[in-house]
Amino acid sequence: MIGSLLLFFSVRGIVLHKIKYKDTRDIVYLYTDAKGRKTYIFNHNNKSGHLYPLSLIEFESNERHKADMQYIKEFVLSPVLPEIFSNIRKSAPAMFIGEFLYRVLKEEGLNINLFEFISKSINLLDVMREGVANFHLHFLVQLPKYLGFAIPSNINGFDYFDIKACKFVIIKPLHPQFFDRGNTQILTELLDLPYDRLDDLKLSGLQRVDFLNNMLDFYSFRYDFNLVMKSLSVLHETFC
């Protein structure tokens, strides 16, 4: 029968979220290079306890047609990413980004460019030595170009960014959904700043918090729901 047919293939995945399921299993939400967002069941005996937000793994998937969740036979961390999971200055943004992606990629299908952008960013975070405090801000600014609503460059040096119109404007919008002059300047810089120069952007903890709140407003508007992030407290405590 088609319903019992098994297909075996190798998959790369990015861990977004994990919850305990019964006593011996975990439900793991992944963004994969094969089918976009997928949900899998991991048995504890395959070391699923070693999985954290933004872990990069490779595994053999036993895909059963019509099953809501698939079982993972074995997996390997690829690569191990020792810095992200041992350094709080890197694990805090990793936790935040993992939760953010878990919330916004709800119905996201396969997008190989998006997958490669996220996986490349994770690898960069692991080896970064400077600018880590600005990493999550840069990630949120660069991500829209892979989601279909890229933020344009502020080529005219305008003073405000209009969230609704998704563009820079010279006159303050009449509605409340916009970036003020300070956050517009930060956004302008982050759009063109490469990862290896993130330390050049000197921000206080309060500036990071305020800009991040604006970026969450931007995504909340695009996805039409309020993004409430549980990991914000850890992030703010780490960089404020």
Secondary structure, 3-state, 17-76:
EEEEECCCEEEEEEEECCCEEEEEEEEHHHCHHHCCCCCEEEEEEEEECCCCCEEEEEEE
Confidence (pTM): 0.91
Residue 48: which of 78, 15, 70, 1 has the closest Cα?
15
Was domain 2-77 assigned CATH 2.40.30.10? no
Q: Where does the chain hold its CATH 1.20.1440.120 domain(s)?
A: 88-239
Give me the amino acid identity at 7: L
Q: Where does the chain hold its CATH 2.40.50.140 domain(s)?
A: 2-77
What is the spatial distance between Cα 10 and Cα 75, in angstroms, rounded to a whole number? 10
Q: Does residue 2 have a pLDDT over 50?
A: no
Domain 88-239 carries which CATH code? 1.20.1440.120
Q: DSSP assignment, residue 13?
A: E
Q: Does residue 3 have a pLDDT over 50?
A: no
Q: Dump pLDDT digits (tens) for 107-136.
A: 778 899 999 999 999 999 999 999 999 999
